[in-house]
């Protein structure tokens, strides 16, 4: 796969977004847990960090993001992997709208939270599936439970 990115280096926001995209691409190599039962036993400390992460995320994002996350999460089982195409179908939204939401609307917030809260879990875990040429996502149990407790 080849990705081409054009960055206007005279625009600080364009440079920041380009760097965030590169960081995102560099981090996307994680894999889902092999032992789903073991991964469901999240420590109390992990649950606290997940709550802090989701609290901060909720404060910085709007109703559309809250709806996409809660309704999308309800469409998949715990630790079930899903693609952006799967999420778009579950939300009855165009795939491009979901891509814009994931990569533009919330990526800056996720990057900032990652820098501010390095000990917190990731909101989305993800892995690249080369033979399908797509990224699959899932939510860890602590994050999923924290999102479930939020209202839209």
Contact 46, 124 (CB under 8 A): no
Write out the residue range of the structural domain in which residue 97 sits: 12-148
Q: How many domains does the chain have?
A: 1
How large is the C-alpha radius of gyration of the chain?
16
Q: Mind listing the pLDDT tens digit for each residue in 86-141?
A: 999 999 999 999 999 988 889 999 999 999 999 889 998 999 999 989 999 998 88
Contact 140, 148 (CB under 8 A): no
Give domain status of residue 1, yes or no. no
Q: Mind listing the pLDDT tens digit for each residue in 76-99?
A: 988 899 999 999 999 999 999 999
Give domain status of residue 26, yes or no. yes
């Amino acid at each position: 796969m080849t990705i081409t990115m054009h960055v206007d280096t005279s625009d600080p926001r364009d440079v920041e977004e380009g760097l965030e995209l590169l960081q995102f691409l560099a981090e996307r190599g994680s894999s889902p847990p092999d032992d789903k039962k073991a991964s469901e036993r999240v420590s109390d400390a992990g649950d606290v960090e997940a709550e802090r992460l989701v609290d901060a995320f909720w404060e910085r994002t709007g109703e559309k993001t809250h709806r996409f996350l809660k309704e999308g999460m309800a469409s998949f089982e715990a630790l079930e992997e899903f693609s952006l195409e799967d999420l778009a179908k579950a939300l009855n939204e165009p795939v491009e709208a979901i891509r814009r939401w994931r990569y533009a609307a919330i990526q800056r917030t996720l990057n900032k939270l990652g820098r501010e809260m390095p000990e917190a879990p990731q909101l989305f875990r993800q892995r690249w599936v080369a033979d399908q040429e797509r990224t699959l996502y899932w939510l860890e149990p602590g994050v999923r439970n924290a999102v479930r407790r939020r209202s839209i």
